[in-house]
Structure 1
Amino acid sequence: MESGGPITRDITGEEHYSVIYAIEESPVASGVIWAGANDGPIHVTRDGGNTWKDVTPPDMPPEGRIQTIDPSPHDASKAYFAGYRTLLGDFRPFIYKTEDYGESWTLLTPGDNGIPSHHPTRAVREDPVREGLLYAGTEFGMFVSFDDGGSWEQFQLNLPRTPITDIKVHQNDLVLSTMGRAFWIMDNITPLRQGGEAIEFGLAAGGPNFLEPLDAYRIRGGGGGGGSPDQPRYSRRGAELDYMLDDDANSVRIEIMDEAGSVLRSFEGPGSGTPAPTLHRGLNRFVWDLTVPGPNGAARGGPTVVPGTYMARLTVDGRQQTRSFEVLMDPRVAADGVTVTDLQEQFDLGIQIRDAIEDADATIERLEGAMRRVSEGSDVEAQLKEIADALVTDRSISSYPQPMLRDQLNYLSGNSQRADQKPGEDMYERLEVLVAELEAHKVRLQRLIRLVI
């Protein structure tokens, strides 16, 4: 064609080159393989490719592109495919299901059951854990079905309006690829797997519904990121506790207990400044970071609990539900030879250091009270300042001030808890020295306080 000639269908519409666009083997039956092409045909083999059968749905319009095929992870005879015909000017969605190796097909997207008639479909996947839970990616976003495609719910959440090009369920996370808008991951799809029978998505049936939590791994790091649209946002580490509310609540409390029922942490909403459970209608998620309180009840800074069985008690406006879960060791740590006994010793040392920090803080508070009452310029004031100089770092020094006892304890705490490890003997020795020094300062301070009173 000469430059400037008429526009032809070849350069504006679909082109066919006998290309197989999708090929998938059944995860439950070896040798059952499905294939879809860019001009519409669907074929299946049940003998590892020796023979193939054309099982294209008779009501599927011709020349559509078969974008994805998803053999069911639950039934070898069952499969789904998603196709589209947008390059032919047809924006209808085409998701089909067969339950008899393609002998018959059911169209799951007639246009009136949730996915609009003008949303071309690119991807469909069945959940590997819950049969009949389907995820569909369209030209304009995500949808989910709890009834094997009988009906669909919009599942856009914070996704941009962009074509969903593929979907994978990896372990307990939902992973999406999009057309030019990055990869997206939904962490922990337990609410979808547990909630379908009792709820319309996001709404509890008849009151609070505390979903069964997944076991949680002790993993260092996590969270953060997402400072700008082009930066990833990482999931928070810890135990993810999901609960459904049929209406906004007045108060929500989550208590973390050990296997014996002793309360380790308590979080209440509404709240500010510390991790607080949310109270809004629909799905709520709270993440416990697997630590106990820090010094003086601080929300952060406490040691991480050891692997074992724990419980979470949810109280919503006076109504309680309790769920149990396991805290598991990071398998990489176990591969390095670290044991649960090592982690228990580390936790116990962390508690001892926390207690020493609290003792130091209480001593400093008493010291400050005595200095407010002492006569200025007296010998007692001079001795109190000596104790203060030994306990508290001089922050007036702008460049590398010498850390004093309180900060040395804090430094020891950080070093002892920074990695999953058996504590070294030097940590115990250093704590013993610091505690002895603190006790000496306490005795001296008590004697001086008697002189001030």
Structure 2
Amino acid sequence: YAIAEDYVNPRLLFAGTEFGFFFSIDGGAKWIQMKGNLPTIAIRDIAIQKQENDLVLATFGRGFYVLDNYAPLRQISNETLNQNSALFPVKNALMYVRSNAPFTGFQGANFYLAPNPSYGATFTYYLKEAPKTLKQKRQEAEREAEKRKQPFHYPTIEELRAETEEEASALLFTITDADGKIARRITAPAAQGIQRVTWDFRSAPPSIPATPPQLPAGLVLPEGATLGPQGQLVMPGKYTVTTELRAGGTVTALPGSQTFEVTVEGRERMTAEERANLADFQRKVSALQRSVGGAVDVATASKTKINLLKRSAQEAPAQNKNLVEEAKSLDQKINDILNDLRGGRENSDIPTPPINARVENIADATRLSSTRPTQTQLNQYEYTVSRFNPVLARLQSLVDVEIPRLEKALDAAGAPLTPGRLPQ
């Protein structure tokens, strides 16, 4: 029905047929069917959007399909397909403020709305073969023995348990910044063929919940939102991605790496000195934001632990007056720390902004900036650091010294154990 030629590589051809969509990397000598959630349907027309390198397909009776940024297909060759793996060039990724507007409003469920391209930097990778699990290897050996009419090995209980407990194979993507520091690690299925995964510009989450968060019935997350704690958005700049394969209990580095830019609009008009000053300030703000986020998380967990220790002190089968007083003192201290870090106990009509609000304000104001940091932002940063360091010292003393001391005293008094405490 339709045929199209890539405007950069004339040997890259696309064809729409009665039974799906195909592409060729050798001028039509061999054709490969493209699936990727595309149903087997008649493809009546093909259009190429040159600005974003998008491939648009018009089907018979099933609407339009868009393949975002098909540029990696230009890098495919017979040599590439014969390699065990390949990581294709990464398109520079634009960081912007996403709208949470639903757009459909009150139009009803029949109002069509297609999902936007994934927000972030998209990595395209190729695996010649997916790693086989222990179970798959055993079953193949059994089938081969059956073909040859030979006896096969019957698995032991230990071998079956090893199959059940085997960790799933995956590809590990490590993203590092211009200084070589790891910004994020993400995983993707170790599936055969060409696959994609997107990094959402966020660092690792500050905490890992014990149980996966559940979305209440009837609610729908906005596009791009995720449940549970989220890491902070990284600062714009140059990043590098490398890959590793986790299979059979071992992690193997895969050849190749790709460098890309996380960009914002307007930064190209800055001088080299202004960009350097802004990048240096953004790195400092990002490090402070990570420290403050970690401190808030530890303080929140410590508040929960202290509440349990208070209950344990009240149930101690001994003279517990000193234990109860000590637990109340720790509770007061953690409340003061939390108030400094995240607010919540206002003593006036216009409370002083807490530490985390100050650092988030600086980060949000400079992340998409195309000018050097202002003097107000520099002053805010210095003031926030001066407030945070004493609070962090108090939290460290509470966590490392005072809480363990109370736990030891509770254990000596025979008080009920709290989660995470081992009897001495």
**Local SS of the residue matching 2:188:** coil
SS in 2 for 1:277: strand
Instruction: Pick one of 293, 301, 321 that aligns with 2:231.
Output: 301
Alignment map for 1:47-126 (pairs within 5 Å): 121=1, 123-126=2-5
CA distance 1:418–1:150, shift in 2 (3 Å): same
Which residue is equivalent to 1:205?
82
Shift of 1:235: 1.4
Q: Equivalents in 2 of 1:136, 1:223: separation in Å? A: 36
Contact in 2 for aligned 1:223/1:236 (Cα 8 Å): no
State the Cα distance separating 1:188 from its structure 2 match.
2.3
Verify the 8 A CA contact 1:303 1:347 in the aligned structure 2.
no
In the other structure, the counterpart of 1:253 is 172
**2:275 is matched by which residue type in structure 1?**
V
Q: Which amino acid aligns with 1:155?
A: M
Higher relative contact order (CA 8 A, sep 6+): 2
The 3-state SS of whatever aligns with 2:82 is coil
Residues 165 and 390 of structure 1: is their aligned pair in 2 closer, same or farther, counting only changes over 3 Å?
same
- CA shift, 1:129, in A, is 2.1
Amino acid across the alignment from 2:90: L
The answer (yes or no) to whether the contact 2:87–2:125 under 8 Å persists in 1 is yes
Deviates more, 1:435-444 or 1:248-257: 435-444
Question: In the aligned structure 2, how far is the partner of 1:413 from the partner of 1:394?
Answer: 17
Q: Aligned residue for 1:56?
A: none
Residue 260 of structure 2 is aligned to residue 346 of structure 1: no
Q: Is residue 2:292 matched to residue 1:356? A: yes
| Higher relative helix content | 2
For 2:254 and 2:244, locate their aligned partners in 1 and report how far apart those are by CA, in whole Å. 5
1:221-274 CA-to-partner distances (Å, cap 9, x unmatched) read 56999998932121123332222223223342222234565443323xxxxxxx
CA distance in 2 between partners of 1:231 and 1:183 (Å): 12
In the alignment of these two chains, the number of paired residues is: 317
1:324 to 251, 258, 265: 258
**Alignment correspondent of 1:284:** 195
Per mean C-alpha deviation after superposition, the further-off stretch among 239-248 and 138-147 is 138-147
Counterpart CA distance in 1 for 2:363 and 2:239 is 26
User: How far apart are residue 310 of structure 1 and its match?
Assistant: 2.3
Match of 2:92 in 1: 216
Bigger Cα displacement from structure 2, 125-134 vs 298-307: 298-307
How far apart in 2 are the matches of 1:440 and 1:259?
A: 31
CA contact (8 A) 1:222 1:236 kept: no
Secondary structure, aligned partner of 1:356: helix
Give SS of 1:312's match.
strand
Change (3 A) 1:392 1:256: closer
Answer 1 or 2: which has greater strand percent.
Answer: 1
Choose which of 373, 379, 384 in structure 1 pairs with 2:333. 384
2:414 corresponds in structure 1 to: none
Match of 1:313, SS state, is: strand
Which letter does structure 2 place at the counterpart of 1:347?
R
Residue 236, structure 1, aligned to residue 115, structure 2: no
Q: What does 1:366-377 align with in structure 2 at a 5 Å threshold?
A: 366=302, 369=305, 372-373=308-309, 375-376=323-324
Larger of the two Rg values belongs to structure: 1
Confirm whether residue 152 of structure 1 aligns to residue 88 of structure 2: no
Please name the residue that 1:449 is paired with: 402
Aligned counterparts, 1:174-213, within 5 A: 174-178=55-59, 181-198=62-79, 204-205=81-82, 207=84, 209-213=85-89
**Structure 2 residue identity aligned to 1:237:** Y
Where in structure 2 are there 5+ consecutive unaligned residues? 132-168, 209-227, 311-322, 410-424
Contact in 1 for aligned 2:95/2:368 (Cα 8 Å) = no
Q: Identity of counterpart residues, as a percentage?
A: 20
Report how far residue 163 of structure 1 moved. Answer: 4.2
Aligned equivalents of 2:338, 2:246: Cα separation in 1: 49
Name the residue aligned to 1:69: none
CA contact (8 A) 1:221 1:237 kept: no
In the alignment, the residues of structure 2 paired with residue 418 and residue 170 of structure 1 have an alpha-carbon distance, to the nearest angstrom, of: 29
Structure 1 contact 350–416 (Cα < 8 Å) conserved? no
RMSD: 4.3
Q: For 1:117-163, what per-residue CA distance to the aligned partner results, in whole angstroms no more than 9, with x for missing partners?
A: xxxx2x32111222221112345542222332334333354335254
Aligned to 2:376: 426
Residues 1:417 and 1:231: Cα distance change in structure 2 (over 3 Å): farther
Shift of 1:289: 3.1
* Corresponding residue of 1:113: none
Deviates more, 1:421-430 or 1:438-447: 438-447
Q: Is the 8 A contact 2:11 2:27 kept in 1?
A: yes
Tell me what 1:314 maps to: 244
**Cα distance between partner residues in 2 of 1:226 and 1:277:** 31
Structure 1 position 320, deviation (Å): 1.9
Q: Which of residues 11, 25, 48 in structure 2 aligns to 1:168?
A: 48
* Kept in 2: contact 1:125–1:135 (CA 8 A): yes
Distance (Å, rounded) in 2 between the aligned partners of 1:322 and 1:187: 23
Q: Distance in 1 between matches of 2:171 and 2:282?
A: 32
Q: Is this contact kept in 1: 2:16–2:42, CA < 8 A? A: no
Which amino acid is the alignment partner of residue 408 of structure 1? A
Q: Tell me: CA distance 1:381–1:131, structure 2 relative to 1, closer, same or farther (3 Å).
A: closer
Q: Which residue of 2 aligns with 1:118?
A: none
- Does structure 1 retain, via aligned residues, the 8 Å contact 2:124–2:197? yes
Q: Which residue of 2 aligns with 1:114?
A: none
Deviation at 1:322, TM superposition (A): 2.2
SS at match of 1:351: helix
- Separation (CA, whole Å) in 1 of partners of 2:385 and 2:336: 15
Q: 2:364 aligns with which of 415, 423, 439?
A: 415
How far did 1:418 drift? 5.5
SS at match of 2:336: helix
